[in-house]
Amino acid sequence: MGTWLSDNFATLLVVLGIVLLAIEVIVLGFAVFILFFIGLACIVTGMLIGVGAIPDTLTFAFGSVAVFSAAFTFALWKPFKNMQNKGISKEVKGDFIGHSFVLDNNVSPTQFSTHRMSGVNWKVKSKQSIDAGTMVEVVKIEVGELTVVPKS
């Protein structure tokens, strides 16, 4: 078993790298990046060991994976983070748009209220001042927030 491992060490590193890349992309949805960088480092290290550029010892392999992981992280973190943050912003269009209710408290651009709907306490906000007791209509929904206007 020991000779098989040493004879196939470079191949095992490449396979480990591919498995780590697959876990990062498929399972984690490319959200963490760390497994991606370690996977790339394993692949590069395995290829370098395979061509004889570095010795095929555990010490050199671990050191090489650590150095390449750090280098890939340093070089690729910002571009990957920017790519991840370029998600398409879509407004939620749900059944609550157009829903009407009477405000329990005053609402303004600086003052918020709450409204219980579908078992959830929603934060109610508005771009204009609206007095309590006014019938309002939901015009926008964000996570946990309803934006309302007076119903005409």
Please say if the pLDDT value at position 135 is more than 80: yes
Please say if the pLDDT value at position 120 is more than 50: yes
Domain ranges for the chain: 2-85, 100-150
As a whole number, mean pLDDT of residues 9-14 equals 92
- The per-residue pLDDT for range 76-114, each reduced to its tens digit, is 888 887 877 665 555 555 678 888 999 999 999 999 999
Do 83 and 128 touch, CB atoms closer than 8 A?
no
CATH superfamily of 100-150: Nucleic acid-binding proteins (2.40.50.140)
Q: What is the pTM of this model?
A: 0.55
CA angle 88, 23, 25 (to 5 degrees): 20
As a whole number, mean pLDDT of residues 68-77 equals 92
End-to-end, the C-alpha distance of the chain in Å comes to 80
Which alpha helices (DSSP H) does the chain contain, by range? Answer: 2-7, 9-22, 34-50, 58-85
